[in-house]
């Protein structure tokens, strides 16, 4: 079923990770993601991997769900790492037809694998421990300076939170429509590519119709409550930075420092 995908799901909880201010979490997350791609030797990569494990440990979410989120991208990881394996430069240690295995290629494959896995685990950690509302709230606050150049910060944030809010609803709806069409003998599982694409029509049309209907409904509901955009709106939950948020940012800064030191004092392998 479509609902079984763990990636992007939120698990309510009270762990350290849950209690962090979403703004601090988001800033640290962005810094961490950039950092993942600035690792050029195994020491730096090891630091990143260790930090990922640390994040998972303090997130209070069972590792099982992290594995589940990895399962979704298993194919992508395999594909890119195999591609990288034969893409390296330097002396070949094994060769067959156009496939050249080099030490450089092996390093590249190892790096790309660890990097993607860390990337997915870190983003899972963020979405597992931060509710969509908190996340868009944090984005809105962090993008606020852009309002000076007339960037519609609030509108974008509102659109994002509405979109996120409808993901589970539409998944459920897809499920229902699929069941209803299957009950009428729709064949979704067999046939060639074209036949399968055609078989999606009875699902997509009702889905679009219902998505538009829901969009109109929510627009009307918002208007009934006199929604008129962001200016002058107060918040129900005011975000507060606390000592632990500062600590999390200091930890991230230390990690950045560590990776930079590794990069300076050790030779890069890729």
Binding site for another protein (CB under 8 A): 62, 173, 176-177, 179-187, 201-202, 205-206, 209-210
Q: Which is nearer to another protein, 5 or 260 (CB)?
A: 5
Min CB(218)–another protein separation in Å? 17
Sign of the four-CA dihedral 244, 249, 251, 252: positive
Which residues make Cβ contacts (< 8 Å) with residue 169, sequence separation at least 6? 214
Min CB(137)–another protein separation in Å? 27
Kind and range of the H or E run holding 110: helix 103-129
Q: What are phi and psi of 31, to 5 degrees?
A: -60, -45
Q: Which is nearer to another protein, 204 or 246 (CB)?
A: 204
Min CB(120)–another protein separation in Å? 20
Q: Which is nearer to another protein, 202 or 258 (CB)?
A: 202
Min CB(5)–another protein separation in Å? 13
Kind and range of the H or E run holding 224: helix 201-224
Q: Is the CB of residue 116 less than 8 Å from the CB of residue 36?
A: no
Min CB(202)–another protein separation in Å? 5
- Exposure class string for 96-110: b at 16+ Cβ within 10 A, else e: eeeebbbebbbbbbb
Q: Which is nearer to another protein, 152 or 202 (CB)?
A: 202
Q: Which is nearer to another protein, 34 or 205 (CB)?
A: 205
Min CB(209)–another protein separation in Å? 7
CA distance 21 to 26: 9
Q: Which is nearer to another protein, 10 or 87 (CB)?
A: 10
DSSP state string for 159-193: HHHHHHHHHHHHHHHHHHHHHHHHHTT---SSS-H
């Amino acid at each position: 079923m479509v609902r079984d995908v763990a990636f992007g799901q939120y698990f309510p909880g009270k762990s350290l990770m849950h209690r962090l201010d979403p703004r601090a979490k988001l800033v640290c997350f962005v810094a961490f993601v950039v950092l993942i791609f600035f690792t050029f030797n195994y020491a730096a990569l090891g630091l990143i991997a260790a930090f990922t494990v640390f994040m998972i440990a303090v997130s209070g979410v069972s590792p099982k769900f992290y594995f589940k989120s990895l399962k979704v991208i298993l194919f992508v990881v395999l594909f890119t790492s195999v591609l990288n394996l034969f893409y390296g430069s330097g002396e070949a240690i094994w060769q067959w037809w156009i496939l050249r295995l080099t030490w450089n290629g092996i390093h590249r494959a190892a790096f790309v694998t660890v990097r993607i896995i860390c990337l997915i685990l870190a983003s899972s950690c963020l979405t597992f421990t931060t509710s969509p509302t908190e996340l868009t709230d944090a984005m809105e606050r962090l993008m606020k300076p852009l309002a000076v150049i007339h960037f519609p910060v609030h509108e974008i944030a509102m659109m994002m939170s509405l979109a996120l809010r409808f993901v589970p609803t539409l998944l459920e709806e897809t499920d229902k429509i699929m069941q209803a069409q299957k009950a009428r003998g729709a064949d979704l599982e067999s046939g060639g590519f074209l036949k399968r694409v055609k078989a999606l029509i009875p699902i997509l049309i009702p889905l679009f119709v219902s998505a538009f209907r829901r969009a109109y409904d929510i627009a009307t509901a918002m208007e009934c409550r006199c929604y008129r955009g962001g200016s002058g709106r107060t918040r129900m939950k005011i975000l507060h930075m606390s000592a632990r948020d500062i600590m999390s940012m200091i930890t991230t800064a230390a990690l950045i420092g560590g990776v930079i030191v590794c990069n300076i004092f050790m030779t890069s392998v890729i």
